[in-house]
Amino acid sequence: MTIIKTNKNILSVTLLVAVALSAGTAAATYIPYKGATAKPAEAAPAPEAKTEVAPEAAAKPVIEEHSAQALEHATAAAIHGKAGHASILVEHVTVALEHAQAAEKVLEGSAKEHMSTAIEHLNEALNHGKLDHADIATEHVDQAIAHINAAMGN
Protein backbone atom coordinates (compact mmCIF):
# COMPACT_ATOMS: atom_id res chain seq x y z
CA MET A 1 0.00 0.00 0.00
CA THR A 2 2.87 2.36 0.82
CA ILE A 3 4.37 1.69 -2.59
CA ILE A 4 1.14 2.72 -4.32
CA LYS A 5 0.95 6.02 -2.38
CA THR A 6 4.60 6.75 -3.14
CA ASN A 7 4.07 6.00 -6.84
CA LYS A 8 1.02 8.30 -6.94
CA ASN A 9 3.03 11.12 -5.34
CA ILE A 10 5.88 10.61 -7.81
CA LEU A 11 3.44 10.51 -10.70
CA SER A 12 1.75 13.69 -9.44
CA VAL A 13 5.08 15.53 -9.13
CA THR A 14 6.21 14.26 -12.53
CA LEU A 15 2.99 15.49 -14.13
CA LEU A 16 3.37 18.86 -12.41
CA VAL A 17 6.92 19.25 -13.70
CA ALA A 18 5.89 18.22 -17.23
CA VAL A 19 3.07 20.77 -17.29
CA ALA A 20 5.30 23.51 -15.87
CA LEU A 21 8.00 22.83 -18.45
CA SER A 22 5.59 22.73 -21.37
CA ALA A 23 3.92 25.95 -20.21
CA GLY A 24 7.30 27.62 -19.85
CA THR A 25 6.88 28.37 -16.18
CA ALA A 26 7.99 26.71 -13.00
CA ALA A 27 5.61 28.76 -10.86
CA ALA A 28 3.00 26.00 -10.64
CA THR A 29 2.24 24.65 -7.17
CA TYR A 30 2.14 21.04 -6.04
CA ILE A 31 -1.32 19.70 -5.23
CA PRO A 32 -1.07 16.33 -3.52
CA TYR A 33 -3.29 13.45 -4.60
CA LYS A 34 -6.10 12.94 -2.10
CA GLY A 35 -7.42 9.65 -3.40
CA ALA A 36 -10.94 8.59 -4.25
CA THR A 37 -12.23 9.32 -0.75
CA ALA A 38 -12.07 13.13 -1.19
CA LYS A 39 -15.41 14.88 -0.68
CA PRO A 40 -16.92 16.66 -3.67
CA ALA A 41 -16.88 20.45 -3.57
CA GLU A 42 -19.93 22.10 -2.08
CA ALA A 43 -22.36 23.78 -4.43
CA ALA A 44 -22.04 27.53 -4.80
CA PRO A 45 -24.70 29.62 -3.04
CA ALA A 46 -27.59 30.88 -5.13
CA PRO A 47 -27.02 34.32 -6.67
CA GLU A 48 -28.69 37.23 -4.94
CA ALA A 49 -31.73 38.82 -6.50
CA LYS A 50 -30.86 41.77 -8.71
CA THR A 51 -32.34 45.14 -7.86
CA GLU A 52 -33.56 47.58 -10.44
CA VAL A 53 -31.25 50.51 -11.09
CA ALA A 54 -32.51 53.80 -12.44
CA PRO A 55 -31.19 54.54 -15.97
CA GLU A 56 -29.53 57.75 -14.74
CA ALA A 57 -27.65 55.84 -12.04
CA ALA A 58 -26.62 53.15 -14.51
CA ALA A 59 -25.29 55.73 -16.98
CA LYS A 60 -23.14 57.53 -14.39
CA PRO A 61 -20.45 54.82 -14.10
CA VAL A 62 -20.28 54.66 -17.91
CA ILE A 63 -19.78 58.42 -18.11
CA GLU A 64 -17.16 58.37 -15.36
CA GLU A 65 -15.33 55.41 -16.91
CA HIS A 66 -15.19 56.93 -20.39
CA SER A 67 -14.28 60.36 -19.05
CA ALA A 68 -11.54 58.88 -16.87
CA GLN A 69 -10.14 56.89 -19.78
CA ALA A 70 -10.24 59.95 -22.04
CA LEU A 71 -8.40 61.95 -19.38
CA GLU A 72 -5.83 59.19 -18.83
CA HIS A 73 -5.00 58.87 -22.53
CA ALA A 74 -5.02 62.62 -23.10
CA THR A 75 -2.56 63.02 -20.22
CA ALA A 76 -0.33 60.33 -21.72
CA ALA A 77 -0.57 62.07 -25.09
CA ALA A 78 0.50 65.38 -23.51
CA ILE A 79 3.50 63.73 -21.86
CA HIS A 80 4.63 62.20 -25.15
CA GLY A 81 3.88 65.39 -27.05
CA LYS A 82 6.10 67.41 -24.71
CA ALA A 83 8.84 64.83 -25.37
CA GLY A 84 8.35 65.30 -29.14
CA HIS A 85 6.87 61.82 -29.73
CA ALA A 86 4.19 62.79 -32.24
CA SER A 87 3.40 59.23 -33.34
CA ILE A 88 2.75 58.04 -29.77
CA LEU A 89 0.76 61.22 -29.10
CA VAL A 90 -1.47 60.27 -32.06
CA GLU A 91 -2.05 56.79 -30.61
CA HIS A 92 -3.13 58.14 -27.23
CA VAL A 93 -5.21 60.96 -28.71
CA THR A 94 -7.07 58.43 -30.87
CA VAL A 95 -8.06 56.38 -27.82
CA ALA A 96 -8.86 59.52 -25.80
CA LEU A 97 -11.07 60.72 -28.63
CA GLU A 98 -13.03 57.44 -28.71
CA HIS A 99 -13.69 57.61 -24.97
CA ALA A 100 -14.55 61.30 -25.05
CA GLN A 101 -17.08 60.69 -27.83
CA ALA A 102 -18.64 57.83 -25.85
CA ALA A 103 -18.91 60.03 -22.76
CA GLU A 104 -20.36 62.92 -24.76
CA LYS A 105 -23.25 60.75 -25.97
CA VAL A 106 -24.62 60.39 -22.43
CA LEU A 107 -23.62 63.74 -20.92
CA GLU A 108 -26.00 66.66 -20.55
CA GLY A 109 -25.78 70.41 -20.03
CA SER A 110 -22.48 72.19 -19.49
CA ALA A 111 -20.64 68.89 -19.05
CA LYS A 112 -21.65 67.92 -22.59
CA GLU A 113 -20.48 71.32 -23.89
CA HIS A 114 -17.09 70.88 -22.22
CA MET A 115 -16.73 67.37 -23.61
CA SER A 116 -17.67 68.62 -27.10
CA THR A 117 -14.98 71.30 -26.86
CA ALA A 118 -12.51 68.66 -25.64
CA ILE A 119 -13.37 66.53 -28.69
CA GLU A 120 -12.71 69.50 -30.99
CA HIS A 121 -9.28 69.99 -29.40
CA LEU A 122 -8.53 66.26 -29.58
CA ASN A 123 -9.40 66.28 -33.30
CA GLU A 124 -7.05 69.25 -33.84
CA ALA A 125 -4.35 67.47 -31.84
CA LEU A 126 -4.83 64.37 -33.96
CA ASN A 127 -4.49 66.37 -37.19
CA HIS A 128 -1.34 68.17 -36.01
CA GLY A 129 0.14 65.00 -34.56
CA LYS A 130 -0.25 63.24 -37.90
CA LEU A 131 1.67 66.13 -39.46
CA ASP A 132 4.41 65.58 -36.85
CA HIS A 133 3.67 68.92 -35.17
CA ALA A 134 4.04 67.61 -31.62
CA ASP A 135 4.23 71.08 -30.05
CA ILE A 136 0.98 72.37 -31.55
CA ALA A 137 -0.75 69.04 -30.95
CA THR A 138 0.31 69.16 -27.30
CA GLU A 139 -1.25 72.61 -26.88
CA HIS A 140 -4.57 71.22 -28.14
CA VAL A 141 -4.26 68.17 -25.88
CA ASP A 142 -3.68 70.45 -22.88
CA GLN A 143 -6.85 72.38 -23.76
CA ALA A 144 -8.74 69.07 -24.14
CA ILE A 145 -7.52 67.95 -20.71
CA ALA A 146 -8.84 71.16 -19.16
CA HIS A 147 -12.26 70.63 -20.76
CA ILE A 148 -12.42 66.93 -19.83
CA ASN A 149 -11.67 67.90 -16.23
CA ALA A 150 -14.41 70.52 -16.39
CA ALA A 151 -16.86 67.97 -17.80
CA MET A 152 -16.00 65.62 -14.94
CA GLY A 153 -16.49 68.39 -12.39
CA ASN A 154 -12.81 68.53 -11.39
Written as one letter, the residue type at 27 is: A
Half-sphere exposure of 27 (CA within 13 A, CB side): 3
Q: Which residues contact 75 (CB under 8 A, 6 or more apart)?
A: 145
Cα 107 to Cα 63: distance, rounded to the nearest angstrom:
7
**DSSP label at residue 46:** P
Q: pTM of the predicted model, to two decimals?
A: 0.61
Whole-number CA gyration radius for the chain: 27
Cα 153 to Cα 29: distance, rounded to the nearest angstrom:
48
CATH architecture, domain 55-152: Up-down Bundle (1.20)
How do the pLDDT tens digits run along the chain, 154 residues long?
455 555 555 556 555 556 555 555 554 455 555 555 545 555 555 555 554 545 554 556 666 889 999 999 999 999 999 999 999 999 999 999 999 999 999 889 999 999 999 999 999 999 999 999 999 999 999 999 999 999 998 8
**Residue extents of the structural domains in the chain:** 1-35, 55-152
> What does the pLDDT read at residue 105?
92
As a residue count, the chain comes to 154
Cα 42 to Cα 30: distance, rounded to the nearest angstrom:
22
